[in-house]
């Protein structure tokens, strides 16, 4: 009877004195990500967490699939708890074994969290393996068996597990504070968001749209991407910022064409700073990668970043498109990202954008604008929404 999940976490284990704060972030993450399924009990034990459904009809596999997406989780095992007594472990193993015909090979792995336990891990593996061989005519395969039996002896209990779900690893949500991600409808920014989420940031999203000059579908697409991101932090606040009027209007009428994209980006960052202050966030995350498009040169990044008092984190900066796409597929955002959409920046794109620039030059270009008034007016026109697990895609 599989009724228990064993969560193994990643770098939390390395955090010394902060360990318990990190574990608390993960406990909250587990409670939040399962909250719409039913109540669960989470228990911290040595180097692991145990999760159980409080209501019998809530299957642990559903819980495990959810929990395995959480930042900080290295892997989740489905199984059951027994005493640490070897006979009790044998009994649980027997119950967990599939019928003879279901498979051909098996392997046993044991971990002894408790070094005072009289048997070493290798000895537990040998004895459990022998016990299985008395009941099933399977071959032992310790590299890629049809079926793994995973035994853990920890804190006076035995855990007998069979199914393993891989997690993303990293740090649990909230352990590194809050950030604002600039979420376009493309491939890159959801990947950047996920990468920083797995470094412990709790993110809110900001999207700039050019309605009514671009169609409604492009905003719906960003909402779809945000619904994917909900799976990693349970709740995701998305703010839509109308960018066409007055900011893009002002840029298009008053500034030289070649600076348009840099100016758009500088205003985006100013609005991100505004959003960060409102959300108590301390950094901005973007999906920029060095040299990917004309606006993403080192010089332009510096010119854009000069408007920001907050650090701009660009987790994809050194990645090529193919590896970014691999991650997008893995986290499930790729198919949504490649749907056609109108981007606010392809509207009114210059024919030959500046690839070199510096902050002084742009400060000079911006003298014709009332920057503060443009930012404040635009910020006042924002629309925020909160996406929750019920909106999951
Ligand atoms: P993406 O796949 O994320 O759209 P991209 O290769 O199209 O990236 P750019 O359009 O130059 O690159 O954008 C670089 C980054 O700037 C994006 O990853 C995103 O973080 C931010 N960004 C661009 N456009 C928008 C927008 N309309 N709303 C919010 N953020 C944006
Ligand atoms: Mg884009």
Question: What are the DSSP calls for 9-70, one per residue?
Answer: ESGGGG-GGGHHHHHHHHHHHHHHHTTTT--EEEEEETTEEEEEESSTTS-HHHHHHHHTTS
Q: Are residues 96 and 159 in the same domain?
A: yes
CATH number, domain of 187, equals 3.40.50.620
C-beta of 158 in contact with ligand 1 (< 6 A): no
- DSSP state letters, 345-378: TTTT--SS--S---HHHHHHHGGGS-HHHHHHHH
Predicted local distance difference test score (pLDDT) of residue 19: 83
Q: Are residues 281 and 383 in the same domain?
A: yes
Find tokens 């290798």 and name the residue: 122
Predicted local distance difference test score (pLDDT) of residue 351: 72
When pLDDT is averaged across residues 331-354 and rounded to a whole number, the result is 81
Q: Are residues 20 and 137 in the same domain?
A: yes
When pLDDT is averaged across residues 100-122 and rounded to a whole number, the result is 94
Residue 308 Cα, ligand 1 centroid: separation in angstroms?
A: 17
Q: Are residues 75 and 186 in the same domain?
A: no
Residue 30 Cα, ligand 2 centroid: separation in angstroms?
A: 32
Decide if pLDDT at 125 tops 90: yes
Decide if pLDDT at 93 tops 90: yes
C-beta of 345 in contact with ligand 1 (< 6 A): yes
Q: What is the pTM of this model?
A: 0.94
Residues in a beta bridge with 50:
6, 43
Residue 120 Cα, ligand 1 centroid: separation in angstroms?
A: 53
pLDDT tens-digit series, residues 23-57: 999 999 999 999 999 899 999 998 899 999 888 77
Question: Is position 120 within any domain?
Answer: yes
**Contact (Cβ atoms closer than 8 angstroms) between residue 72 and residue 171:** yes
Residue 22 backbone dihedrals phi, psi, to 5 degrees: -65, -40
- DSSP state letters, 261-327: HHHHHHHHHHHHHHHHHHHT---EE----TTSSTT-SHHHHHHHHTT-SS-EE-TTTT--HHHHHHH
Q: Which helix (DSSP H) or strand (DSSP E) does residue 101 occupy?
A: none
Q: Which residue has the higher pLDDT, 47 or 288?
A: 288
Ligand 1 atom nearest the C-alpha of 190 is 3
In this prediction, what percent of the chain has a pLDDT beyond 70? Answer: 96
Q: Are residues 202 and 282 in the same domain?
A: yes
CATH number, domain of 127, equals 3.30.2130.30
Please count the structural domains in the chain: 2
Residues in a beta bridge with 240:
207, 383
Question: Is position 171 within any domain?
Answer: no
Closest CA to 84 of 116, 130, 50, 38: 116
When pLDDT is averaged across residues 315-330 and rounded to a whole number, the result is 98
**Contact (Cβ atoms closer than 8 angstroms) between residue 344 and residue 212:** no
Predicted local distance difference test score (pLDDT) of residue 12: 64
Predicted local distance difference test score (pLDDT) of residue 186: 96
Q: Which of 179, 181, 188 to mutate to test the pocket of ligand 1 (most atoms within 8 A of CB)?
A: 188
Number of CB atoms found within 10 A of residue 336's CB: 20
Q: What is the DSSP letter of 147?
A: E
Q: Of 166, 196, 211, which residue is a domain's last? A: 166
C-beta of 219 in contact with ligand 1 (< 6 A): no
Decide if pLDDT at 347 tops 70: no
When pLDDT is averaged across residues 226-253 and rounded to a whole number, the result is 96
Q: Are residues 142 and 259 in the same domain?
A: no
In this prediction, what percent of the chain has a pLDDT beyond 90? Answer: 81
Question: Is position 97 within any domain?
Answer: yes
Domain housing 335: 178-392
Longest dimension (CA), the chain: 85
Predicted local distance difference test score (pLDDT) of residue 114: 79
Question: Is position 172 within any domain?
Answer: no
When pLDDT is averaged across residues 84-113 and rounded to a whole number, the result is 96
Question: Is position 46 within any domain?
Answer: yes
In which order are the strands placed within the sheet that holds 284-285? 312-313, 284-285, 178-182, 202-209, 235-242, 383-388
Q: Are residues 230 and 309 in the same domain?
A: yes
pLDDT tens-digit series, residues 136-188: 999 999 999 999 999 999 989 999 999 999 999 999 999 999 999 999 999 99
Rounded to whole angstroms, the Cα distance separating 175 from 181 reads 17
Question: Is position 173 within any domain?
Answer: no
Nearest CA to ligand 1 atom 13: 288
pLDDT band at 295 (very low <50, low <70, confident <90, very high): confident
Nearest CA to ligand 1 atom 30: 182
Q: Of 145, 166, 187, which residue is a domain's last? A: 166
**Out of 48-52, 171-175, 363-367, 389-393, least confident range:** 389-393
Q: Of 166, 201, 217, which residue is a domain's last? A: 166
* Helices and strands (DSSP H and E) totals, the chain: 13, 14
Q: Which of 263, 272, 287, 293 to mutate to test the pocket of ligand 1 (most atoms within 8 A of CB)?
A: 287
């Amino acid at each position: 009877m599989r009724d228990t999940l064993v969560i193994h976490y990643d770098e939390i284990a390395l955090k010394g004195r902060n360990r318990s704060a990190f574990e608390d972030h993960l406990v909250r993450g587990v409670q939040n990500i399962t909250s719409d399924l039913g109540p669960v009990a989470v228990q911290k034990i040595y180097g692991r967490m145990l999760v159980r459904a409080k209501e019998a009809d809530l299957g642990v596999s559903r819980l495990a699939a959810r929990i395995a997406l959480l930042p900080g989780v290295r892997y989740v095992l489905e199984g059951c708890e027994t005493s640490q007594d070897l006979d009790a472990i044998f009994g649980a193993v027997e119950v967990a074994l599939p019928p003879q015909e279901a498979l051909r090979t098996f392997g046993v792995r044991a971990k002894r969290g408790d070094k005072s336990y009289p048997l070493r891990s290798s000895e537990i593996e040998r004895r459990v393996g022998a016990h299985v061989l008395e009941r099933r005519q399977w071959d032992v395969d310790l590299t890629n068996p049809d079926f793994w039996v995973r035994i853990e002896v920890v804190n006076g209990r035995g855990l007998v597990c069979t199914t393993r779900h891989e997690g993303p690893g990293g740090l649990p949500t909230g352990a590194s504070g809050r950030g604002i991600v600039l979420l376009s409808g493309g491939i890159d920014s959801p990947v950047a968001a996920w990468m920083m989420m797995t470094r412990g940031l709790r993110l809110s999203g900001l999207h700039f749209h050019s309605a009514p000059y671009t169609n409604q579908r492009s905003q719906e697409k960003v909402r779809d991407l945000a619904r994917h991101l909900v799976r990693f932090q349970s709740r995701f606040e998305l703010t839509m910022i109308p960018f066409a009027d007055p900011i893009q209007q002002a840029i298009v009428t008053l500034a030289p064409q070649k600076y348009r994209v840099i100016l758009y980006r500088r205003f985006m960052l100013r609005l991100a700073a505004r959003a960060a202050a409102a959300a108590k966030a301390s950094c901005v995350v973007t999906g920029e990668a060095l040299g990917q498009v004309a606006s993403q040169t080192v010089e332009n990044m510096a010119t854009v970043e000069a408007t920001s008092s907050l650090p701009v984190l660009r987790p994809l900066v050194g990645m090529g498109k193919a590896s970014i796409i691999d991650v997008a597929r893995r986290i499930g955002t790729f198919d949504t990202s490649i749907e056609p959409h109108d981007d606010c920046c392809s509207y009114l794109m210059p024919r030959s954008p500046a690839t070199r620039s510096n902050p002084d030059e742009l400060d000079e270009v911006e003298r014709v604008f009332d920057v503060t008034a443009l930012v404040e007016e635009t910020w006042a026109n924002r629309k925020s929404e909160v996406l929750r697990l019920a909106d999951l895609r």
